[in-house]
Amino acid sequence: MNFIELCQKRYSVRSYHPLAIEQEKLDYVLQCARLAPSAVNFQPWKLQLITNKKDMERIKQCYKRTWFESVSTCIIIYKNKEQEWVRKQDQKAHGDIDVAIITEHICLAAAEQELGTCWVCNFDRAELFNQFEIPEYLEPVVIIPIGYPADEPKDKQRKLMDELMIKLAKK
């Protein structure tokens, strides 16, 4: 499969089979995440792999959606606020960008392994801090459910290339 086929294959899965993920596949996905680039190579992230039932019940308290009940494995990605690179000229912090990069590495690696994922950013952050002892310097950014899809992808609606491209006049 080439890269464009992989990008087309990946979709937001919202129903999962209760099958356990093979350790080799999880290791592969996490290794792909480890290789993700970041601003100035600061790698300002931490990953929390949730595979046990007790911790999954805790996560489900932070994101109460019917479809999320079928999830049995998640990866939480935290931004280390003390390690993110900040551009000096305008103080633009790049930690969220770096987390987005590692998140998509995880999602694409999972799709390659016949696993499904979904970016979950609309979780209850306060409840996550209530459920786990999270140090203050870590900011939870995204929860990624991961597992074998039990649904089918819907047609992707994407803008045409002409709608994405911009031509700026020279000064």
Instruction: Judge whether 144 lies within some domain.
Output: yes
CA distance 170 to 10: 38
Q: Which tokens is 58 given?
A: 């805790």
pLDDT at 159 over 90: yes
Q: Which tokens is 117 given?
A: 């994922």
Q: Could you give the number of structural domains in the chain?
A: 1
CATH number for the domain harbouring residue 68:
3.40.109.10
Using CA atoms, how far residue 80 sits from 43, 90, 141, in Å, is 9, 20, 10
Q: How many residues does the chain have?
A: 171
Per-residue pLDDT tens digits for 9-34 = 999 999 999 899 999 999 999 999 99
Range of the domain at 112: 32-149
Instruction: Judge whether 134 lies within some domain.
Output: yes
Supply the pLDDT for residue 40. 97
Instruction: Judge whether 157 lies within some domain.
Output: no
Instruction: Judge whether 15 lies within some domain.
Output: no
Per-residue pLDDT tens digits for 2-13 = 999 999 999 999
Instruction: Judge whether 27 lies within some domain.
Output: no
Region 49-70 average pLDDT: 96
Instruction: Judge whether 101 lies within some domain.
Output: yes
* Spatial CA neighbour of 5 closest among 110, 121, 147, 108: 108
Supply the pLDDT for residue 99. 98
- Beta carbons of 140 and 125 less than 8 angstroms apart: yes
Q: Which tokens is 67 given?
A: 């479809």
Per-residue pLDDT tens digits for 105-129 = 999 999 999 999 999 999 999 999 9
Supply the pLDDT for residue 3. 96
* Spatial CA neighbour of 30 closest among 95, 98, 106: 106
Instruction: Judge whether 105 lies within some domain.
Output: yes
Instruction: Judge whether 63 lies within some domain.
Output: yes
Supply the pLDDT for residue 42. 98
